A and B are shown apart, each in its own frame.
Chain A
Amino acid sequence: MSEPPMVSFENVTKRYGSLTVLDGLNLTISRGEKVAIIGPSGSGKTTVLRMLMTLETIDGGVIRVEGEPLTHTERQGRLVPANLAHIRKVRAKIGMVFQSFNLFPHMTALHNCMEAPVKVLGLSRAEAEARAADLLEMVGLSNRRDYYPSQLSGGQQQRVAIARALAMRPRVMLFDEVTSALDPELVGEVLQVIRKLGEEHDLTMLMVTHQMGFAREFADRVCFFYEGRICEEGEPKAFFQNPQNERSRQFLRAVLEAG
Protein backbone atom coordinates (compact mmCIF):
# COMPACT_ATOMS: atom_id res chain seq x y z
CA MET A 1 0.00 0.00 0.00
CA SER A 2 1.30 3.46 -0.85
CA GLU A 3 1.80 5.92 1.97
CA PRO A 4 -1.22 8.10 2.77
CA PRO A 5 -1.25 11.70 1.53
CA MET A 6 0.16 14.32 3.89
CA VAL A 7 -3.18 16.10 4.13
CA SER A 8 -6.56 15.26 2.73
CA PHE A 9 -9.85 17.10 2.93
CA GLU A 10 -12.65 14.65 2.29
CA ASN A 11 -16.00 16.13 1.47
CA VAL A 12 -15.45 18.88 4.06
CA THR A 13 -18.27 21.30 4.69
CA LYS A 14 -18.24 24.49 6.73
CA ARG A 15 -21.20 26.70 7.53
CA TYR A 16 -21.63 29.93 9.41
CA GLY A 17 -25.31 29.97 10.26
CA SER A 18 -27.12 29.66 6.96
CA LEU A 19 -24.02 30.60 4.94
CA THR A 20 -22.22 27.61 3.47
CA VAL A 21 -18.60 28.69 3.25
CA LEU A 22 -17.13 25.39 2.06
CA ASP A 23 -19.26 22.95 0.19
CA GLY A 24 -18.00 19.38 0.11
CA LEU A 25 -14.36 20.25 -0.37
CA ASN A 26 -12.04 17.51 -1.61
CA LEU A 27 -8.36 18.31 -1.63
CA THR A 28 -5.41 15.97 -1.38
CA ILE A 29 -1.90 17.20 -0.75
CA SER A 30 1.10 14.93 -0.94
CA ARG A 31 4.19 15.13 1.17
CA GLY A 32 6.49 17.97 0.28
CA GLU A 33 4.00 19.52 -2.08
CA LYS A 34 3.77 23.34 -2.24
CA VAL A 35 0.21 24.38 -2.89
CA ALA A 36 -0.91 27.94 -3.57
CA ILE A 37 -4.52 28.78 -2.80
CA ILE A 38 -5.91 31.74 -4.67
CA GLY A 39 -9.35 33.15 -5.27
CA PRO A 40 -11.57 36.15 -4.66
CA SER A 41 -12.28 37.55 -1.23
CA GLY A 42 -14.74 35.46 0.75
CA SER A 43 -14.22 32.30 -1.30
CA GLY A 44 -13.16 30.31 1.78
CA LYS A 45 -9.37 30.26 1.45
CA THR A 46 -8.63 31.30 5.02
CA THR A 47 -11.31 28.93 6.29
CA VAL A 48 -9.49 25.97 4.71
CA LEU A 49 -6.27 26.77 6.55
CA ARG A 50 -8.03 27.57 9.82
CA MET A 51 -9.86 24.25 9.78
CA LEU A 52 -6.62 22.39 9.22
CA MET A 53 -5.08 24.32 12.16
CA THR A 54 -8.18 23.38 14.24
CA LEU A 55 -9.06 27.03 14.68
CA GLU A 56 -12.47 26.31 13.16
CA THR A 57 -14.73 23.31 13.66
CA ILE A 58 -15.92 21.40 10.63
CA ASP A 59 -19.57 20.73 9.94
CA GLY A 60 -19.20 17.73 7.66
CA GLY A 61 -16.62 15.42 6.14
CA VAL A 62 -13.20 14.73 7.57
CA ILE A 63 -9.68 16.12 7.40
CA ARG A 64 -6.84 13.63 7.57
CA VAL A 65 -3.19 14.23 8.28
CA GLU A 66 -1.03 11.33 7.11
CA GLY A 67 -4.17 9.27 7.01
CA GLU A 68 -5.19 10.05 10.57
CA PRO A 69 -8.42 11.99 11.14
CA LEU A 70 -7.57 15.38 12.65
CA THR A 71 -10.49 15.97 14.98
CA HIS A 72 -11.96 12.47 15.02
CA THR A 73 -10.93 8.95 15.83
CA GLU A 74 -12.06 5.79 14.14
CA ARG A 75 -13.99 3.48 16.39
CA GLN A 76 -15.52 0.33 14.93
CA GLY A 77 -15.30 1.81 11.48
CA ARG A 78 -17.11 4.99 12.54
CA LEU A 79 -15.69 8.44 13.11
CA VAL A 80 -16.32 9.88 16.55
CA PRO A 81 -15.09 13.24 17.87
CA ALA A 82 -11.61 12.85 19.31
CA ASN A 83 -10.36 14.03 22.67
CA LEU A 84 -7.95 16.92 23.06
CA ALA A 85 -4.93 14.63 23.43
CA HIS A 86 -5.56 13.14 20.00
CA ILE A 87 -6.14 16.53 18.42
CA ARG A 88 -2.93 17.87 19.93
CA LYS A 89 -0.98 14.87 18.71
CA VAL A 90 -2.14 15.32 15.13
CA ARG A 91 -2.01 19.11 15.31
CA ALA A 92 1.66 18.91 16.25
CA LYS A 93 2.38 18.19 12.59
CA ILE A 94 0.88 21.51 11.49
CA GLY A 95 2.31 25.00 11.86
CA MET A 96 0.75 28.29 10.83
CA VAL A 97 1.85 31.82 10.03
CA PHE A 98 -0.80 34.52 10.23
CA GLN A 99 -1.44 37.67 8.26
CA SER A 100 -1.16 39.73 11.44
CA PHE A 101 1.95 37.92 12.79
CA ASN A 102 0.42 37.32 16.24
CA LEU A 103 3.78 37.33 17.98
CA PHE A 104 3.69 37.38 21.77
CA PRO A 105 4.35 41.07 22.49
CA HIS A 106 5.78 40.53 25.97
CA MET A 107 8.48 38.11 24.78
CA THR A 108 11.63 38.80 22.83
CA ALA A 109 12.10 37.30 19.38
CA LEU A 110 14.15 34.51 20.92
CA HIS A 111 11.62 33.77 23.66
CA ASN A 112 8.80 33.75 21.13
CA CYS A 113 10.64 30.92 19.40
CA MET A 114 11.47 29.08 22.66
CA GLU A 115 8.11 29.11 24.42
CA ALA A 116 6.42 26.19 22.65
CA PRO A 117 9.50 23.97 22.25
CA VAL A 118 10.10 24.23 26.00
CA LYS A 119 6.48 23.98 27.15
CA VAL A 120 5.11 21.54 24.58
CA LEU A 121 8.03 19.47 23.35
CA GLY A 122 9.78 19.51 26.69
CA LEU A 123 13.11 20.72 25.38
CA SER A 124 15.55 22.11 27.92
CA ARG A 125 16.00 25.86 27.77
CA ALA A 126 19.48 25.39 26.33
CA GLU A 127 18.26 23.09 23.56
CA ALA A 128 15.34 25.37 22.78
CA GLU A 129 17.61 28.39 22.70
CA ALA A 130 20.01 26.70 20.30
CA ARG A 131 17.13 25.70 18.04
CA ALA A 132 15.59 29.19 18.19
CA ALA A 133 18.94 30.84 17.49
CA ASP A 134 19.48 28.63 14.43
CA LEU A 135 16.06 29.48 13.07
CA LEU A 136 16.48 33.18 13.69
CA GLU A 137 19.71 32.95 11.78
CA MET A 138 17.93 31.16 8.97
CA VAL A 139 15.44 34.04 8.69
CA GLY A 140 18.28 36.54 8.92
CA LEU A 141 17.51 37.95 12.34
CA SER A 142 20.38 36.76 14.53
CA ASN A 143 21.11 40.34 15.51
CA ARG A 144 17.50 40.94 16.61
CA ARG A 145 17.02 37.98 18.90
CA ASP A 146 16.66 40.07 22.04
CA TYR A 147 14.27 42.59 20.51
CA TYR A 148 10.60 42.76 21.41
CA PRO A 149 8.08 42.57 18.57
CA SER A 150 7.23 46.25 18.99
CA GLN A 151 10.86 47.06 18.19
CA LEU A 152 10.80 45.15 14.91
CA SER A 153 9.49 46.08 11.46
CA GLY A 154 6.53 44.18 10.05
CA GLY A 155 8.78 42.15 7.79
CA GLN A 156 11.04 41.25 10.70
CA GLN A 157 8.06 40.33 12.87
CA GLN A 158 6.74 38.05 10.18
CA ARG A 159 10.12 36.37 9.83
CA VAL A 160 10.20 35.78 13.59
CA ALA A 161 6.70 34.30 13.30
CA ILE A 162 7.95 31.91 10.64
CA ALA A 163 10.91 30.90 12.81
CA ARG A 164 8.57 30.44 15.78
CA ALA A 165 6.34 28.08 13.82
CA LEU A 166 9.31 26.15 12.46
CA ALA A 167 10.74 25.68 15.93
CA MET A 168 8.01 23.10 16.50
CA ARG A 169 9.30 21.11 13.50
CA PRO A 170 5.95 20.85 11.75
CA ARG A 171 5.49 18.67 8.66
CA VAL A 172 3.00 21.06 7.11
CA MET A 173 3.27 24.85 7.13
CA LEU A 174 0.26 27.05 6.51
CA PHE A 175 0.67 30.63 5.34
CA ASP A 176 -2.36 32.89 5.24
CA GLU A 177 -1.60 36.00 3.20
CA VAL A 178 1.51 36.48 5.24
CA THR A 179 2.66 39.52 3.27
CA SER A 180 -0.69 41.33 3.06
CA ALA A 181 -0.16 43.41 6.17
CA LEU A 182 3.32 44.51 5.11
CA ASP A 183 4.54 47.68 3.45
CA PRO A 184 5.46 46.84 -0.14
CA GLU A 185 9.19 47.22 0.43
CA LEU A 186 9.08 44.56 3.18
CA VAL A 187 7.28 41.89 1.15
CA GLY A 188 10.43 40.69 -0.59
CA GLU A 189 12.34 39.73 2.55
CA VAL A 190 9.49 37.53 3.76
CA LEU A 191 8.99 35.85 0.38
CA GLN A 192 12.72 35.23 0.29
CA VAL A 193 12.48 33.28 3.54
CA ILE A 194 9.55 31.27 2.24
CA ARG A 195 11.49 30.49 -0.93
CA LYS A 196 14.34 29.20 1.19
CA LEU A 197 11.91 26.99 3.10
CA GLY A 198 10.60 25.67 -0.19
CA GLU A 199 13.96 24.09 -0.82
CA GLU A 200 13.26 21.68 1.99
CA HIS A 201 11.76 18.84 0.07
CA ASP A 202 10.10 17.23 3.03
CA LEU A 203 8.14 20.26 4.17
CA THR A 204 4.60 20.49 2.86
CA MET A 205 3.42 24.05 2.33
CA LEU A 206 -0.05 25.45 1.85
CA MET A 207 -0.27 29.12 1.17
CA VAL A 208 -3.07 31.53 0.58
CA THR A 209 -1.68 34.40 -1.42
CA HIS A 210 -2.57 37.33 -3.60
CA GLN A 211 0.95 37.45 -5.08
CA MET A 212 0.29 35.73 -8.39
CA GLY A 213 3.90 36.07 -9.47
CA PHE A 214 5.09 34.27 -6.36
CA ALA A 215 2.44 31.56 -6.65
CA ARG A 216 3.45 30.92 -10.22
CA GLU A 217 7.13 30.64 -9.56
CA PHE A 218 6.96 28.89 -6.20
CA ALA A 219 4.03 26.48 -6.14
CA ASP A 220 3.80 22.95 -7.50
CA ARG A 221 0.06 23.36 -7.78
CA VAL A 222 -2.43 26.20 -7.76
CA CYS A 223 -5.96 25.80 -6.42
CA PHE A 224 -8.44 28.44 -7.47
CA PHE A 225 -11.28 28.81 -4.98
CA TYR A 226 -14.62 30.25 -5.88
CA GLU A 227 -17.62 30.32 -3.54
CA GLY A 228 -16.38 27.54 -1.32
CA ARG A 229 -15.31 25.13 -4.04
CA ILE A 230 -12.15 24.47 -5.95
CA CYS A 231 -13.12 25.75 -9.31
CA GLU A 232 -9.90 24.92 -11.10
CA GLU A 233 -6.55 23.52 -10.10
CA GLY A 234 -3.39 22.60 -11.85
CA GLU A 235 0.23 23.27 -12.50
CA PRO A 236 0.96 26.98 -12.12
CA LYS A 237 2.36 27.43 -15.59
CA ALA A 238 -0.63 25.90 -17.30
CA PHE A 239 -3.08 27.60 -14.95
CA PHE A 240 -1.73 31.09 -15.37
CA GLN A 241 -1.07 30.82 -19.09
CA ASN A 242 -4.21 29.09 -20.08
CA PRO A 243 -6.94 29.00 -17.43
CA GLN A 244 -9.76 26.71 -18.45
CA ASN A 245 -12.57 27.97 -16.29
CA GLU A 246 -14.44 31.17 -17.06
CA ARG A 247 -14.28 32.26 -13.42
CA SER A 248 -10.52 31.76 -13.18
CA ARG A 249 -10.09 33.79 -16.34
CA GLN A 250 -12.19 36.60 -14.93
CA PHE A 251 -10.28 36.51 -11.66
CA LEU A 252 -6.86 36.57 -13.30
CA ARG A 253 -7.94 39.38 -15.60
CA ALA A 254 -9.14 41.42 -12.61
CA VAL A 255 -5.95 40.75 -10.66
CA LEU A 256 -3.78 41.70 -13.62
CA GLU A 257 -5.69 44.93 -14.17
CA ALA A 258 -5.29 45.83 -10.49
CA GLY A 259 -1.55 45.29 -10.98
Chain B
Amino acid sequence: MWDWAFTLEILPALARAAVITVEVTILGFLIALTLGLALAVCRIALPWTRLPISLLVELIRSTPLLIQIFFLYFVGPSFGLTLDAMTTGVLAVGVHYATYCSEVYRAGFESVPRGQWEASVALNLGRATTLRDVIIPQAIPPVVPALGNYLVALFKETPLLSAIAVLELMQTAKIIGSQTFRYTEPITLVGLFFLAMSLVSAWAIRRVEAGINRRYRR
Protein backbone atom coordinates (compact mmCIF):
# COMPACT_ATOMS: atom_id res chain seq x y z
CA MET B 1 0.00 0.00 0.00
CA TRP B 2 2.55 2.58 1.17
CA ASP B 3 5.76 2.69 -0.83
CA TRP B 4 8.62 4.09 1.22
CA ALA B 5 11.06 4.21 -1.65
CA PHE B 6 8.58 6.22 -3.70
CA THR B 7 8.01 8.50 -0.73
CA LEU B 8 11.71 9.21 -0.49
CA GLU B 9 11.87 9.85 -4.20
CA ILE B 10 9.12 12.49 -4.23
CA LEU B 11 10.19 14.16 -1.01
CA PRO B 12 12.60 16.71 -2.60
CA ALA B 13 9.97 17.91 -5.04
CA LEU B 14 7.42 18.21 -2.27
CA ALA B 15 9.90 20.04 -0.07
CA ARG B 16 10.47 22.61 -2.81
CA ALA B 17 6.73 22.98 -3.15
CA ALA B 18 6.38 23.38 0.61
CA VAL B 19 8.74 26.34 0.43
CA ILE B 20 6.48 27.89 -2.21
CA THR B 21 3.43 27.29 -0.02
CA VAL B 22 5.11 28.92 2.96
CA GLU B 23 6.25 31.83 0.79
CA VAL B 24 2.75 32.41 -0.53
CA THR B 25 1.43 32.26 3.02
CA ILE B 26 3.93 34.69 4.46
CA LEU B 27 3.81 37.19 1.62
CA GLY B 28 0.04 36.96 1.35
CA PHE B 29 -0.39 37.42 5.06
CA LEU B 30 1.97 40.41 5.12
CA ILE B 31 -0.20 42.03 2.46
CA ALA B 32 -3.33 41.10 4.41
CA LEU B 33 -1.95 42.59 7.63
CA THR B 34 -0.71 45.86 6.17
CA LEU B 35 -3.46 46.46 3.63
CA GLY B 36 -6.04 45.46 6.23
CA LEU B 37 -4.62 47.96 8.70
CA ALA B 38 -4.48 50.63 6.02
CA LEU B 39 -8.15 50.04 5.17
CA ALA B 40 -9.17 50.16 8.83
CA VAL B 41 -7.15 53.34 9.47
CA CYS B 42 -8.54 55.03 6.35
CA ARG B 43 -12.05 54.32 7.52
CA ILE B 44 -11.30 56.11 10.79
CA ALA B 45 -9.12 58.94 9.55
CA LEU B 46 -10.80 59.75 6.23
CA PRO B 47 -14.59 59.62 6.53
CA TRP B 48 -15.11 59.93 2.79
CA THR B 49 -13.35 56.58 2.23
CA ARG B 50 -15.83 54.75 4.43
CA LEU B 51 -18.42 53.98 1.77
CA PRO B 52 -16.05 52.88 -1.01
CA ILE B 53 -14.09 50.73 1.43
CA SER B 54 -17.25 49.09 2.78
CA LEU B 55 -18.33 48.33 -0.77
CA LEU B 56 -14.95 46.88 -1.69
CA VAL B 57 -14.82 44.78 1.48
CA GLU B 58 -18.35 43.52 0.89
CA LEU B 59 -17.59 42.71 -2.75
CA ILE B 60 -14.46 40.74 -1.95
CA ARG B 61 -15.95 38.90 0.97
CA SER B 62 -19.04 37.79 -0.87
CA THR B 63 -17.24 36.19 -3.80
CA PRO B 64 -15.15 33.03 -3.62
CA LEU B 65 -11.40 33.40 -3.43
CA LEU B 66 -11.03 30.92 -6.29
CA ILE B 67 -12.99 33.19 -8.59
CA GLN B 68 -10.90 36.19 -7.56
CA ILE B 69 -7.73 34.27 -8.35
CA PHE B 70 -9.07 33.29 -11.77
CA PHE B 71 -10.28 36.80 -12.41
CA LEU B 72 -6.95 38.38 -11.59
CA TYR B 73 -5.03 35.83 -13.64
CA PHE B 74 -7.20 35.47 -16.72
CA VAL B 75 -9.15 38.74 -16.86
CA GLY B 76 -6.40 40.97 -15.44
CA PRO B 77 -4.37 40.92 -18.69
CA SER B 78 -7.26 42.46 -20.64
CA PHE B 79 -6.98 45.43 -18.28
CA GLY B 80 -3.23 45.54 -18.88
CA LEU B 81 -2.46 43.71 -15.65
CA THR B 82 -0.21 40.84 -16.58
CA LEU B 83 1.35 39.06 -13.63
CA ASP B 84 2.95 35.69 -13.26
CA ALA B 85 1.02 32.98 -11.46
CA MET B 86 2.90 33.28 -8.16
CA THR B 87 2.46 37.09 -7.95
CA THR B 88 -1.18 36.77 -8.90
CA GLY B 89 -1.72 34.17 -6.22
CA VAL B 90 0.00 36.14 -3.49
CA LEU B 91 -1.86 39.29 -4.43
CA ALA B 92 -5.26 37.61 -4.60
CA VAL B 93 -4.83 35.81 -1.31
CA GLY B 94 -3.41 38.92 0.36
CA VAL B 95 -6.16 41.26 -0.79
CA HIS B 96 -8.85 38.71 0.03
CA TYR B 97 -7.63 38.29 3.57
CA ALA B 98 -6.95 42.01 3.94
CA THR B 99 -10.70 42.53 3.93
CA TYR B 100 -11.11 40.06 6.78
CA CYS B 101 -8.20 41.58 8.67
CA SER B 102 -9.59 45.09 8.23
CA GLU B 103 -12.77 44.03 9.99
CA VAL B 104 -10.70 42.52 12.80
CA TYR B 105 -8.68 45.72 13.16
CA ARG B 106 -11.90 47.68 13.15
CA ALA B 107 -13.17 45.70 16.10
CA GLY B 108 -9.83 46.39 17.79
CA PHE B 109 -10.18 50.12 17.20
CA GLU B 110 -13.69 50.08 18.56
CA SER B 111 -12.44 48.40 21.73
CA VAL B 112 -10.24 51.41 22.56
CA PRO B 113 -12.16 53.62 24.99
CA ARG B 114 -13.28 57.03 23.75
CA GLY B 115 -11.40 58.61 26.62
CA GLN B 116 -8.12 57.70 24.90
CA TRP B 117 -9.05 59.81 21.88
CA GLU B 118 -10.21 62.60 24.13
CA ALA B 119 -7.03 62.59 26.20
CA SER B 120 -5.09 62.81 22.92
CA VAL B 121 -7.09 65.86 21.85
CA ALA B 122 -6.57 67.44 25.26
CA LEU B 123 -2.81 66.92 24.84
CA ASN B 124 -3.05 68.41 21.37
CA LEU B 125 -1.57 65.31 19.71
CA GLY B 126 -2.01 65.24 15.95
CA ARG B 127 -4.20 62.64 14.29
CA ALA B 128 -1.33 60.54 12.98
CA THR B 129 0.49 60.58 16.32
CA THR B 130 -2.71 59.68 18.14
CA LEU B 131 -3.25 56.69 15.87
CA ARG B 132 0.34 55.52 15.88
CA ASP B 133 1.26 56.05 19.52
CA VAL B 134 -2.02 55.82 21.39
CA ILE B 135 -4.73 53.97 19.50
CA ILE B 136 -2.97 51.30 17.43
CA PRO B 137 -0.84 49.96 20.30
CA GLN B 138 -4.05 49.41 22.24
CA ALA B 139 -6.20 48.21 19.34
CA ILE B 140 -3.92 45.45 18.10
CA PRO B 141 -3.00 43.29 21.11
CA PRO B 142 -6.59 42.18 21.74
CA VAL B 143 -7.07 41.12 18.12
CA VAL B 144 -3.84 39.15 17.68
CA PRO B 145 -5.66 35.83 18.23
CA ALA B 146 -8.25 36.71 15.58
CA LEU B 147 -5.52 37.75 13.14
CA GLY B 148 -3.71 34.52 13.93
CA ASN B 149 -6.79 32.52 13.00
CA TYR B 150 -6.79 34.20 9.61
CA LEU B 151 -3.13 33.32 9.13
CA VAL B 152 -4.01 29.64 9.54
CA ALA B 153 -7.09 30.02 7.35
CA LEU B 154 -5.05 31.72 4.62
CA PHE B 155 -2.44 29.01 4.81
CA LYS B 156 -5.07 26.32 4.35
CA GLU B 157 -6.46 28.05 1.27
CA THR B 158 -3.14 28.21 -0.59
CA PRO B 159 -3.95 24.96 -2.49
CA LEU B 160 -6.43 27.07 -4.45
CA LEU B 161 -3.41 28.47 -6.25
CA SER B 162 -2.98 25.08 -7.92
CA ALA B 163 -5.85 26.27 -10.11
CA ILE B 164 -3.50 28.71 -11.82
CA ALA B 165 -0.63 26.22 -11.74
CA VAL B 166 1.49 27.78 -9.00
CA LEU B 167 3.88 25.02 -8.04
CA GLU B 168 2.78 24.92 -4.44
CA LEU B 169 2.22 21.67 -2.58
CA MET B 170 -1.15 20.69 -3.99
CA GLN B 171 -0.19 21.38 -7.57
CA THR B 172 3.06 19.46 -7.15
CA ALA B 173 1.25 16.50 -5.58
CA LYS B 174 -1.23 16.46 -8.45
CA ILE B 175 1.56 16.51 -11.00
CA ILE B 176 3.38 13.68 -9.27
CA GLY B 177 0.10 11.75 -9.12
CA SER B 178 -0.71 12.18 -12.77
CA GLN B 179 2.79 11.21 -13.85
CA THR B 180 3.17 8.11 -11.65
CA PHE B 181 -0.48 7.16 -11.09
CA ARG B 182 0.27 7.06 -7.37
CA TYR B 183 -1.69 9.53 -5.31
CA THR B 184 -1.57 7.97 -1.84
CA GLU B 185 1.89 9.10 -0.84
CA PRO B 186 1.93 12.64 -2.28
CA ILE B 187 -1.55 13.59 -1.07
CA THR B 188 -0.97 12.07 2.37
CA LEU B 189 2.33 13.89 2.73
CA VAL B 190 0.70 17.15 1.72
CA GLY B 191 -2.02 16.61 4.32
CA LEU B 192 0.53 15.82 6.99
CA PHE B 193 2.52 18.91 6.09
CA PHE B 194 -0.54 21.13 6.44
CA LEU B 195 -1.38 19.52 9.76
CA ALA B 196 2.12 20.04 11.09
CA MET B 197 2.34 23.63 9.89
CA SER B 198 -1.06 24.50 11.32
CA LEU B 199 0.03 23.19 14.72
CA VAL B 200 3.31 25.05 14.51
CA SER B 201 1.65 28.33 13.58
CA ALA B 202 -0.98 27.95 16.32
CA TRP B 203 1.89 27.57 18.76
CA ALA B 204 3.75 30.53 17.28
CA ILE B 205 0.65 32.72 17.51
CA ARG B 206 0.27 31.88 21.17
CA ARG B 207 3.88 32.92 21.73
CA VAL B 208 3.38 36.22 19.93
CA GLU B 209 0.21 36.81 21.94
CA ALA B 210 1.98 36.18 25.22
CA GLY B 211 4.82 38.48 24.18
CA ILE B 212 2.44 41.28 23.25
CA ASN B 213 0.47 40.91 26.45
CA ARG B 214 3.64 41.15 28.46
CA ARG B 215 4.76 44.20 26.54
CA TYR B 216 1.50 46.11 26.74
CA ARG B 217 0.24 44.89 30.15
CA ARG B 218 -3.46 45.18 29.60
A residues with CB within 8 A of B: 53-55, 88, 91-92, 94-96, 98, 100, 102-106, 115-116, 119-120, 148, 150, 164-165, 168
Contact A106 B217 (CB under 8 A): yes
Q: A100-B115, A106-B138, A119-B129 are in contact. Are A53 and B122 (CB under 8 A)?
A: yes
Q: Which residues of B contact A100 (CB under 8 A)?
A: 115
Q: A119-B125, A119-B126 are in contact. Are A55 and B118 (CB under 8 A)?
A: yes
Contact B123 A168 (CB under 8 A): yes
Contact A115 B122 (CB under 8 A): no
A105 to B135, CA, bound (A): 11
Q: Which residues of A contact B138 (CB under 8 A)?
A: 104-106
Contact B133 A103 (CB under 8 A): no
Chain A nearest CB, measured from B105 CB (Å)? 17
**CB within 8 A of B137: which of A55, A88, A106, A168?**
A106
Q: Which residues of A contact B133 (CB under 8 A)?
A: 104, 115, 119
Q: Which residues of B contact A94 (CB under 8 A)?
A: 122
Q: A95-B122, A104-B119, A105-B138 are in contact. List 19 more A-B contacts (CB 8 A).
A: A53-B121, A54-B121, A55-B118, A91-B121, A98-B115, A98-B118, A100-B115, A103-B119, A104-B116, A105-B218, A106-B137, A106-B215, A115-B133, A116-B125, A119-B126, A120-B126, A120-B129, A148-B217, A165-B122
A148 to B216, CA, bound (A): 9
A55 to B121, CA, bound (A): 7
Contact B118 A102 (CB under 8 A): yes
In the A-B complex, the 9 residue pairs with the smallest Cβ-Cβ separation, listed nearest first, are: A102-B119, A116-B123, A102-B115, A96-B122, A106-B216, A119-B129, A106-B137, A120-B124, A148-B217
| B134 at the binding interface (Cβ < 8 Å) | yes
Interface positions, chain B 112-152, Cβ under 8 Å from A, are 113, 115-116, 118-119, 121-126, 129, 133-134, 137-138
Contacts between the two chains (Cβ within 8 Å), count: 66
Contact B123 A88 (CB under 8 A): no
Q: Which residues of A contact B122 (CB under 8 A)?
A: 53, 55, 94-96, 98, 165
Q: Which residues of B contact A106 (CB under 8 A)?
A: 137-138, 215-218
Q: Which residues of B contact A120 (CB under 8 A)?
A: 123-126, 129
Q: Which residues of B contact A148 (CB under 8 A)?
A: 217
Q: Which residues of B contact A88 (CB under 8 A)?
A: 124, 126
**CB within 8 A of B123: which of A105, A150, A164?**
A164
Beta-carbon nearest neighbor of B138 in chain A: A106
Q: A100-B115, A115-B133 are in contact. Are A105 and B217 (CB under 8 A)?
A: yes
A115 to B126, CA, bound (A): 12
A95 to B138, CA, bound (A): 23
Q: Which residues of A contact B113 (CB under 8 A)?
A: 102
A53 to B62, CA, bound (A): 43
Contact B216 A116 (CB under 8 A): no
